[in-house]
Amino acid sequence: MTQTSRISIFVMLFVLIALNATAQKITPYLQSTKKILTFPSKVLNETRTIYIHCPKADSTNPNKTYPVLYLMDGESHFDMLSQYSDYLGRWDVNVIPQMIIVGIVNTKRTRDLTPTESIINYFGLPDTSKVSWMKPSGGNERFLQFIREELMPYINSHYKTEPHNILAGHSFGGLAAVYCLFTHPEMFQMYISVSPSLWWDREYVLKLADQKLKKGAVLNKTLFLSDANEGVSDSSTFHTNVLKLDAILKGKTLTGLNYQYNYYSHETHMTEPLPAYYDALRFIYKDWKNP
Amino acid sequence: MTQTSRISIFVMLFVLIALNATAQKITPYLQSTKKILTFPSKVLNETRTIYIHCPKADSTNPNKTYPVLYLMDGESHFDMLSQYSDYLGRWDVNVIPQMIIVGIVNTKRTRDLTPTESIINYFGLPDTSKVSWMKPSGGNERFLQFIREELMPYINSHYKTEPHNILAGHSFGGLAAVYCLFTHPEMFQMYISVSPSLWWDREYVLKLADQKLKKGAVLNKTLFLSDANEGVSDSSTFHTNVLKLDAILKGKTLTGLNYQYNYYSHETHMTEPLPAYYDALRFIYKDWKNP
């Protein structure tokens, strides 16, 4: 290599470095507190995908523990709940505790989130088609067993959790939340049920609620319930049924139940989760004070 | 290596593989549509960090273009706006267009987001301390020049943008949005101003609005304005001043202005952005139909 060509290379390198110093640069935006857990479940006999969002470590309090919100339809609402909990739990906002969000991604949604095997559709009519979207159904008991016996122990052993769990869901997920409240109340302290599909199997869960709740009983739970303007073909089955559940809860004159029902007249079935999950977090922690 | 040791290794490998197949696995949660842009600005004479969120490519419409929302206080509200726009723009929600979110991260916030050099504080009194948080101030004109001459051309040349821009900000960011509307109305079609700090410099921007807006003028813009329950020490300067701006806008009997003012009586200065940005997106696109 000649002296001249060596100098040329140096000049080129210098120019490249100088250019680089003034050039725009694109890098990935990583949210390091979110992880994907691949979880082989024996109960469900399949591998499940779980999204986990954890608050950033607090260096002044490394042993800090967090409540855990278990969220159904993880693929739809995990980012939303993570964002709400992060923002509202920020030191300069500070109206709810920081929390761990566990988003369960669906495989067979209807199977996992419905309490009974049924082919009775939204309009109360049997869906007899062979490839009905309603098949398979009735696996909610097993799905809750998966949460109770496999997922919760995993989360509690791998994260700094408080013994304080919240279950949140929308539509079939809202149905599953209400079903869980009346059948396994030991699992969660707080329930968020956004537009529960109470129409399922000729209002099976409404009948269950009426049976399970004794008049004047003690129910030390927090429940946020909501629905929206979501009539299908002039029907308003969601609204009618949520009002029925509201009437059952109020008619039983329960003790200890911390309960709110919100109706979103300007929201649809699909837009409702955004304001409803926000209001739900504000409601369930309305008496919370940062310790 | 003996035959036995070879077999042992195979057995060990098999056991490891079998174990691995049933073990939980953690992987990072990447949001591949979000990027960090490092942008050396000549106008500001410093390098800025910009967060960019882009909708996922639509394989059925590769040439699809998107409106762009420029967001001040990127480090605080970028995730929120990205989440709202993603969710509300989903095919099965579909109430606003999918959009590009450009979150501008602060360096010297007070300098960039205030229109004048001032040491008059929230209570109308001079802050004469040498290390006042109010210093430096008055750089909003230059900051808007940075957006107009450097950032917008970059975004428009690197992304599939529509000629449709939105400016959104909270507090000082809300002030900057309103200032921009009255001084550089050609830059944006829509403005979201959440609790603007109209108290700045003895209500400088309110006076400006009153001067700039002629009675009966045409102002073909969309503006969402809001405030909350955010009095400081029994004062409610935010609310009083937002009402003054509301009165100016209504008193001028403008033509073409698509305007909404929301008051959030149950929110504080810091919680308000969550519901306000949601309502703002729903308002500015209330007449939008997916083409």
> Has residue B14 been placed in a domain?
no
> Has residue B38 been placed in a domain?
yes
How confident is the model over A46-64, as a mean pLDDT? 90
Extract the tokens encoding A47: 């591998």
Tell me the C-alpha to C-alpha distance, in Å, between residue B99 and each of A212, B54, B159.
48, 7, 11
Per-residue confidence at A27, pLDDT binned at 50, 70, 90?
Answer: confident
Per-residue confidence at B261, pLDDT binned at 50, 70, 90?
Answer: very high
Q: Mean pLDDT lowest for which of A22-31, A237-246, B182-191?
A: A22-31
Residue A116's closest CA among A140, A142, A135, A82? A140
> Has residue B25 been placed in a domain?
no
The confidence score (pLDDT) of residue B128 equals 87
pLDDT cut 90: percent of chain B above it: 77
Tell me the C-alpha to C-alpha distance, in Å, between residue A265 and each of A80, A268, A276.
21, 8, 12
The confidence score (pLDDT) of residue A29 equals 75
| CA–CA distance, B92 with B124 (Å, rounded to integer) | 49
Residues of B in contact with A27 (CB under 8 A): 35-36, 38
The confidence score (pLDDT) of residue A60 equals 83
Q: Mean pLDDT lowest for which of A197-206, B4-13, B273-282?
A: B4-13
Extract the tokens encoding B261: 């003012």
ipTM of model:
0.88
Least Cα separation, residue B212 to chain A (angstroms): 36
The residue type found at A30 is L
Whether A19 has a pLDDT exceeding 60, the answer reads: no
Residue B104's closest CA among B18, B168, B181, B182? B168
Cβ-based interface (< 8 Å): residues of B facing A: 21-32, 34-40, 51, 53, 79-80, 83-84, 86-88, 90, 92-93, 95, 154, 268, 270-271, 274-275, 278, 282
Extract the tokens encoding B51: 């967060």
How confident is the model over A22-28, as a mean pLDDT? 79
Per-residue confidence at B10, pLDDT binned at 50, 70, 90?
Answer: low
The confidence score (pLDDT) of residue B15 equals 53
> Has residue B2 been placed in a domain?
no
Whether A2 has a pLDDT exceeding 70, the answer reads: no
pLDDT cut 90: percent of chain A above it: 77
The residue type found at A190 is M
Distance of CA B191 to the CA centre of its chain: 10
Contact A79 B80 (CB under 8 A): no
CB of A174 within 8 A of CB of A73?
Answer: no
Per-residue confidence at B1, pLDDT binned at 50, 70, 90?
Answer: low
> Has residue B6 been placed in a domain?
no
Q: Mean pLDDT lowest for which of A25-29, A67-71, A102-106, B216-220?
A: A25-29
Extract the tokens encoding A65: 């523990």
How confident is the model over B105-123, as a mean pLDDT? 96
The residue type found at B269 is H
| CA–CA distance, B169 with B143 (Å, rounded to integer) | 14
How confident is the model over B145-168, as a mean pLDDT? 97
Q: Which of B35, B83, B88 comes nearest A83 by C-beta? A: B83
Tell me the C-alpha to C-alpha distance, in Å, between residue B257 and each of A164, A220, B146, B189, B220.
49, 51, 27, 11, 5
The confidence score (pLDDT) of residue B3 equals 63
Token match 């409106």: residue? Answer: B67
Burial class (CB in 10 A: 0-12, 13-18, 19+), A227: buried
Per-chain mean pLDDT for chain B: 91
CB of B139 within 8 A of CB of B164?
Answer: no
Give the tens place of pLDDT for each residue, A145-179. Answer: 999 999 999 999 999 999 999 999 999 999 999 99
The confidence score (pLDDT) of residue A281 equals 98
Contact A22 B40 (CB under 8 A): yes
A-chain residue closest to B286, CA distance: A266
Counting the structural domains of chain B, the total is: 1
Q: Which of B28, B36, B93 comes nearest A271 by C-beta? A: B93
Residue A38's closest CA among B40, B10, B23? B23
Whether A55 has a pLDDT exceeding 60, the answer reads: yes
Highest average pLDDT, of A90-99, B117-126, B175-184, comes from B175-184
- Per-residue HEC secondary structure of A133-146 comes to CCCCCCCHHHHHHH
Per-chain mean pLDDT for chain A: 91
Domain at A274, CATH number = 3.40.50.1820
How confident is the model over B40-57, as a mean pLDDT? 94
> Has residue A6 been placed in a domain?
no
The confidence score (pLDDT) of residue B16 equals 52
pLDDT cut 70: percent of chain B above it: 90
Tell me the C-alpha to C-alpha distance, in Å, between residue A51 and each of A105, B87, B101, B210.
7, 17, 24, 51
Residues of B in contact with A92 (CB under 8 A): 270
> Has residue B67 been placed in a domain?
yes
Whether A16 has a pLDDT exceeding 80, the answer reads: no
Question: Between B265 and A58, where is the model more confident?
Answer: B265
Residue A171's closest CA among A192, A134, A196? A196
Per-residue confidence at A61, pLDDT binned at 50, 70, 90?
Answer: confident
How confident is the model over A267-283, as a mean pLDDT? 97
Burial class (CB in 10 A: 0-12, 13-18, 19+), B110: buried
Residues of B in contact with A86 (CB under 8 A): 79
Domain interval for residue A71: 31-284
pLDDT cut 70: percent of chain A above it: 90
Q: Mean pLDDT lowest for which of A19-33, A101-115, A202-216, B242-256?
A: A19-33
> Has residue A64 been placed in a domain?
yes
Question: Between B79 and B130, where is the model more confident?
Answer: B79
Whether B8 has a pLDDT exceeding 90, the answer reads: no
Cβ count within 10 A of residue A285: 19
Contact A28 B30 (CB under 8 A): yes
